[in-house]
Structure 1
Amino acid sequence: MKPTIFTALMLGLVLVLFGANVTANEYPDLTGHRLVVYISFHEEEGRRLLNLFGDKTKADYTYLRMPSGELVTRVINEASAPRADIILGGPADAHQLLANQGLLERYDPPSAVAIPEEFKNPDRYWTGIYLGPIAIVVNENRWKKEFAE
């Protein structure tokens, strides 16, 4: 295959892959908007995502990081006067609980086309953005000693 044809094919493939998710006009201009974000996510990763969001949209934000159980409780307790604009992170069941109580707004981001359907709520109340393992580690010696029958 000639280098120019190969280059053109590769360039076309790159444009299709990247163009499917992001366009230059996809990000709204949120200059002057101050958003409150609750994060149930690793704080460093959440901060990176929010910095990228701020860079792309020009939005200002504050965030509060908390475990997912606390986040759910807080959102439920604030239902009559919500304080958070965005919830970032946490397990799907936490988001589904909030959706079932009518505490989430539907949102179907254009970039979600790249995410398999099994990682999205069918009504688009949440879209999964990561898979995180949930594990329990047991010290067998201590377990046998403390819980022996």
Structure 2
Amino acid sequence: MWLIVGIAILTALTGCGGSEVVAYISVDQPFAEPILASFTARTGIIVRPLFDTEAAKTVGIVSRLRAETARPQADVFWNSEFAHTFQLAREGLFESYSPPTASDIPTMYRDPKGFWTCIGARARVLLINTDLVASGTEPKRLIDLVSNRWQPGQVAVSSPLFGTGLTHAAAMYAESGEAAMLDFFVRLKRNGGLFLDGNALVRDRIVAGALPCGLIDSDDALVALTHHAPVKMILPDQGPNGSGTLLIPNSVSLIKRAPHPQEARMLVDFLVSAENEILLAQGESRQIPVRPHLQSKCGWLPPEGVKAYPTPLQNIAGALGSSSFALKNLFLK
């Protein structure tokens, strides 16, 4: 409530009602639009969004931000992952800003220099078609996807060249090294695994019964479950001997020399607020709040919680370039 009052007071004092802010967004459009509408309803500020395509998730916007460095067109970058955001922060594309609404976010999700703030996370999950995979035989680990039990064309993942597929590959690289990361994808490719242009395409083929299992993001899996599709979502690599499930938070940054700096700060304040984390948790994407006391709001986590992948976010982001180079040599040569 204090956030709404604060924004309303600021709007009244500055006369920015009816003004606009430009946001570059790689979050799926159906998930982001209700959030933006809530912001506009509270402030009167119109958000002009530019969304990335599913087939070029995040990478397209990142390239555009780099191209516009000398003359920025965007005010805010709302990224569906964090690795590219961290990379752009190192390149000096963002303005330092520590939003007051993020003061209760754990420090591991806030840049000490103020260049980024992380919010609601998605999990990288296994999705299986329950008509095609018998109960008790479901894959439980990421490595199970390269098992000889699967015939060619029975396992699919989103392309590891962009989006959360690339972020996941970078996490594997950072945790286990290049050889182990490449070994997973080489084995998957050799076994006839499919590499599709986006998590939604993987989900849709599993829902349609075209293949039994795949690796996607939890928000895409939860859409299928909401529509009562014959699927089951599995958090991989749990238990005492598991390496943990990769959690990928959103990230929000203020663009350096933003054309609408005042409105940009207000949008950042809203996006990283506890109020918005609850909206993301209770919306269709059911994202996991990074604020521990809000995590029950998403309504789907097991009572014991999630054993998370142990690699620090900064290490994963640091491995992005090396893993991308190695994967391009594997898939594009």
TM-score (norm 1): 0.74
1:50 paired residue among 16, 36, 40: 36
- Do residues 24 (structure 1) and 67 (structure 2) align? no
Cα distance per residue 1:30-70 (max 9 Å; x no partner):
32422111111021221111111112221112111112111
- Do residues 94 (structure 1) and 137 (structure 2) align? no
Q: Specify the alignment match of 2:267 in structure 1.
A: none
- Do residues 112 (structure 1) and 64 (structure 2) align? no
Give percent identity, aligned residues only: 23
Cα distance per residue 1:49-96 (max 9 Å; x no partner):
111111222111211111211111110011111111111122211111
SS in structure 1 opposite 2:49? Answer: strand
Q: Specify the alignment match of 1:60 in structure 2.
A: 46
- The separation in 1 between residues aligned to 2:92 and 2:189, in whole angstroms, is 44
1:132 paired residue among 104, 116, 122: 122
- The separation in 2 between residues aligned to 1:34 and 1:75, in whole angstroms, is 19
Give the gaps of 5 or more residues in structure 2: 128-144, 154-186, 192-333
Comparing 126-135 and 33-42, the one that deviates more: 126-135
C-alpha RMSD over aligned residues: 2.6
- Do residues 72 (structure 1) and 66 (structure 2) align? no
- The separation in 2 between residues aligned to 1:145 and 1:92, in whole angstroms, is 26
Comparing 76-85 and 47-56, the one that deviates more: 47-56
AA at the equivalent of 1:73? S
Aligned length: 129
AA at the equivalent of 1:88? W
- Do residues 85 (structure 1) and 128 (structure 2) align? no
- The separation in 1 between residues aligned to 2:125 and 2:62, in whole angstroms, is 21
- The separation in 1 between residues aligned to 2:22 and 2:106, in whole angstroms, is 28
- The separation in 1 between residues aligned to 2:125 and 2:59, in whole angstroms, is 17
Q: Specify the alignment match of 2:190 in structure 1.
A: 147
- The separation in 2 between residues aligned to 1:134 and 1:31, in whole angstroms, is 39
Q: 1:131 to 1:99 in 2, by over 3 A?
A: same
